Chains A and B, each alone.
Chain A
Amino acid sequence: MSSTLRQLIWPLAALALLLGFNAAFHPSFFHFQIHDGRLSGSIIDVLNQGAPVLLLALGMTLVIGTGGIDLSVGAIMAVAGAVAAAALREHAPVALAIAAALGAGAAAGVWNGSLVTLAGIPPIIATLILMVAGRGVAQLITHGETLLIKSDSAFNVIGRGVILGVPVPILIFLAAALGLSILVRLTALGLFIEAIGGNEQASRYAGVRVGPIRLAVYLLMGVLAAAAGLIDAADIAAADANNSGLYLELDAILAVVIGGTALTGGRFTLLGSIIGAIIIQTLSTTILSFGRNMPVELNLVIKAAVVLVVCLLQSSELRRLLTRTWRRSQ
């Protein structure tokens, strides 16, 4: 337990710093209201708007845990949104449209996983292929247009609905987080993932079935990305093949790294990635809530600084340099 806490201390400190900043300069950030039977407030906004990145970060944690990476999740989001919107246009029932989109995500995951496990292509290249081609597939489905979804469709509940006062995207994320935590910590799956990421050769000799587990992890990632795509499409009531999930794969990877999971694989922490994703979303919301006199694009520059600082904090080389200069000064 203490090792888990130690692992989470930096991301938690960063989040505390960010929230403290808001508390000092923007106290209304912490206000909650009930508006038309719907919980609202900046913190609810963070979780609600952050739901797609949170879902992606969950899956990405497992993928990175095996020592892999998935660059195609933004493109999979676009494909899933396009599939759902196209199905709804053909008057398919909402449940069928959702199932088709999740199925497309699963298929994309199996494609990625097969390239990594069967063909032995490094994950960064294997998933690059779908990152390039995926948006083309999404545009093929939508015929290059932004497919609108009827605003009164029951489908839009996924993005805009409220159950017991809580926005549905948050509930979807909570369900996925709970399900995955149970899956990786109460079964041996989490252990196997860490074994593969730690030392693939050794885990193979120890009898871990590396191929099927890798495949399963990419499949899970695909389904989660599809769910994120559904939330995005339902939120704006349209499938935008060009912009849905654009650069979100990078945010998801960032969330995982900020959360304390190393890109080299091995030990992973779902909770850390969740905190990482919340940090990223809180940053954007903070900048937005300062609004008028702060341009939105500042977000990108601040994100760059955050990436760099987090990377440097995790760099053992920097620690070695610092301890050396400290000792010398003694």
Chain B
Amino acid sequence: MTAALRRNWPLLGTALVLVVLYAAASLAFPGFASLYQFAHLFDDNATLGLAAVGMTFVILSGGIDLSVGAVIALASMVLALLMKDGGWSIWAAVPAVLAMGAALGACMGAIIHVFRLPPFLVTLAGMFLARGAALLLTPDKRIEMSSKAEIESLSSVLIQNFNLPAMVFLAAVALAWAALRFTRFGRTVYAIGSDESAARLMGLPTASTRIGIYAISALCATAGGIVQVIGTGAGDASAALLLELDAIAAVVIGGTVLAGGRGSVIGTLLGVLILAIITAIPSYHGTLNSWWTKIAIGLLLLVFVLLQRLSQRWAAGKT
């Protein structure tokens, strides 16, 4: 019991913060505690959430991915371009864009693994490449799509107030949870994050896993770009600037240790919801401004990083 508690207490801390924040917002702002508004937290943050799900794999393996914001922008532009100028149907365009994203991520993972380069630098190059490509695609940097019938019909799908982007996000969380918990791949992700040379000596497939991790991260970001097109009705080359920071923050607030090896995608879901509530509050409270959300996210990040530090010291003291 205590062992389970000790292992899960960062997650419990995150859950506690989420509950307190949600309760406080519901008490302060009438109308906040409705299913409609709850669903909106998922809709408005589906792109961030998808990127954060992918980032969870990367951080669990001890890496970092700075390219996700740029990949989101690139995916939204390529999808819009294929459908509008290429005349592709959405059923052909979406798989093509997803494949492109996964391939880009797999390339970054392969370079990181084969040449033993810092993920920080390789994904930085990926960020420059993807952002540059997105901006170079068309001269006006933005492709309006809202008049397309296919996009229109998809954006109006609603189940119990949850729209399609929200459902894609929740499905990704469920898939990622199952993959991390029940598959050989998932266990290898944790093993690489805990101790890579030990993982390799045990004969675990570190190469294919590392490539898979970065492919998943880029795939999730690509899905984020696609749902962004469905949600906003446009491809936008300057979308998701600095979104990688929020994604990393959501993962860390969700209790995943940045050094790798410990954490969960359920924590990331809670982390995304915490960020979602903090971002939503200024629209309810007239005098609060959006810059307070950045400061609040920074402070939360600080608190959780300090807590992680304390728990590491505590664990080290116990053994």
Contact = CB atoms under 8 A, between A and B. Distances in A.
Interface string A300-322: 11011101100110011110000
Given A128-B301, A304-B126, A139 B294 contact: yes
B117 A133 contact: no
B221 to A, nearest CB: 16
A136 interface: yes
Interface stretch (B20-28, B128-136, B179-187, B197-205): B128-136
B129 A301 contact: yes
Residues of B contacting A: mostly: helix
A119 interface: yes
Given A130-B298, A263-B120, A136 B309 contact: no
Interface in B253-268: 258-259
B132 A124 contact: no
A49 interface: no
B65 to A, nearest CB: 13
A311 B64 contact: no
Contacts of B18: none
A130 B136 CA distance: 31
B114 interface: yes
Nearest to B298: A133
A84 interface: no
Contacts of B306: 119, 121
A303 B291 contact: no
Interface stretch (B1-9, B50-58, B166-174, B244-252): B244-252
A181 B264 CA distance: 46
Contacts of B120: 69, 124, 263
Question: Which of A130, A131, A144: most chain B Cβ within 10 A?
Answer: A131
A144 B289 contact: yes
Interface residues of A, number: 47
Interface in A240-291: 241, 246, 250, 253-254, 257, 263
Most chain A C-beta atoms within 10 Å of own C-beta, residue among B64, B125, B248, B306? B125
B236 to A, nearest CB: 14
A135 interface: yes
A317 B115 contact: yes
A173 to B, nearest CB: 24
Contacts of B298: 129-130, 132-134, 136
B295 interface: yes
Contacts of A130: 298
A308 B111 CA distance: 9
A118 B289 CA distance: 32
A298 B299 contact: no
B293 interface: yes
A263 B126 CA distance: 18
Contact of B124 (A143, A254, A297, A305): A254
A140 B133 contact: no
B232 interface: no
Interface string A104-123: 00000000000100011110
9 shortest interchain CB distances as A-B pairs: A133-B298, A136-B294, A300-B132, A139-B291, A304-B129, A297-B135, A304-B128, A301-B132, A307-B125
18 contacts: A119-B309, A124-B258, A132-B245, A132-B297, A133-B295, A133-B298, A133-B301, A136-B295, A139-B289, A139-B291, A254-B124, A300-B132, A301-B128, A303-B132, A304-B128, A307-B124, A308-B111, A317-B115
